[in-house]
Amino acid sequence: MIELPETHVLTKQINETLVGKTIKNAMANASPHAFAFYSGDCAAYGGMLAGAQIIKASTDFGGCGSQVEIMCDDMLLSLSTPIKYHKPGEKLPKSHQLLLEFDDSSHMSCTVQMWGGIHCVPFAQRPENKQVPCPYSDAFDEAYFDSLISGEKPNLSAKALLATEQRIPGLGNGVLQDILFNARIHPKRKLETLTDTDIQRLFRSVKSTLKEMRDEGGRDTEKDLFNKNGGYFSILSKNTLTHPCRECGSGLVRQAYLGGNIYFCPVCQPL
């Protein structure tokens, strides 16, 4: 799965690089993956996409920012997997769940990591997903954020609020860590323990942290369309676990929680 900053970075790069190219061949599920999810018969993707021109990439056709959506003439590709562009003559990945060959002999590939969706449907038949404000939009304001919290159980944790049930599409366990660190909130803290000041700080962190991640070209733990790491240096990740906290110098902690690892500073983010 790719998360919100990367979907926006990839969308921008696809619009700058792939628009106008015509798909010569398309191949799906060449390397079967237990957690690669397709719409319909993936064996039919070749016939559905061959000859189609890349018109536009967006995050707003229906995915609410949680996936990269590529309009290929009258077909729509919705991708929640890493996406790579390969110039003519460049070595292609041995394993891939989607491979597009363009008329100029360049390619685009998708290789699922952990899990991901690859959906190809007629644009007019795209799923009608629930439209919710994206954190990058003005509609995602403090009043909207308060409404997300007000309807939840008091014993819900901060991680569960932000990174489960797709309350904020595209906000997952990866970006969660720095959001909570910047808000000085422990991932396991219950909503009932948060003060109004805590909630205001959390809202501001969601907006500002995600914006910085996007504006810096994605996170350094993820790759962009050209297989380069993003320019945003993650505060809390597997790469920084052995480093002292950049604010207080304490040791960082990693724990398994709610189906994934959480990273935190026990001093800056007391439980």
Domain boundary among 96, 125, 154: 125
- Taking residues 238-243, report their average pLDDT: 96
pLDDT band at 126 (very low <50, low <70, confident <90, very high): confident
- Taking residues 40-55, report their average pLDDT: 97
What CATH number corresponds to the domain at position 174? 1.10.8.50
pLDDT band at 130 (very low <50, low <70, confident <90, very high): low
Domain boundary among 125, 153, 185: 125
- Taking residues 247-268, report their average pLDDT: 97
Neighbours of 239 (CB within 10 A): 12
- Same domain? For 240 and 156 the reply is yes
**Are 5 and 175 in contact, with CB atoms under 8 Å apart?**
yes
- 137 occurs within a structural domain: no
For residue 131, is pLDDT > 80? no
- Same domain? For 15 and 113 the reply is yes
Region of 203 (left: φ > 0; alpha: ψ -120 to 50; beta: rest) is: alpha
What is residue 161's predicted lDDT score, i.e. its pLDDT?
97
Among the residue ranges 40-44, 64-68, 178-182, 214-218, the one predicted with the least confidence is 64-68
For residue 61, is pLDDT > 80? no
What's the mean pLDDT when you consider all of the chain? Answer: 95
For residue 63, is pLDDT > 80? no
pLDDT band at 227 (very low <50, low <70, confident <90, very high): very high
Distance spanning both ends of the chain, measured CA to CA: 29
Q: Which domain does 146 fall in, by range?
A: 142-264
Tens of pLDDT, residue by residue over 86-99, are 999 999 999 999 99
CA 120 vs CA 34, 81, 84, 137: distances in Å:
18, 14, 18, 27
What CATH number corresponds to the domain at position 76? 3.20.190.10
- Same domain? For 170 and 116 the reply is no
What is residue 4's predicted lDDT score, i.e. its pLDDT?
95
pLDDT band at 62 (very low <50, low <70, confident <90, very high): low
For residue 129, is pLDDT > 70? no
What is residue 141's predicted lDDT score, i.e. its pLDDT?
97
DSSP string over 112-181: -SS-EEEEEEEGGG---PPP---TTSTTS-HHHHHHHHHTS-TT-BHHHHHHSTTSSTT--HHHHHHHHH
pLDDT band at 56 (very low <50, low <70, confident <90, very high): very high
- Taking residues 216-235, report their average pLDDT: 97
- Same domain? For 116 and 151 the reply is no
pLDDT band at 60 (very low <50, low <70, confident <90, very high): confident
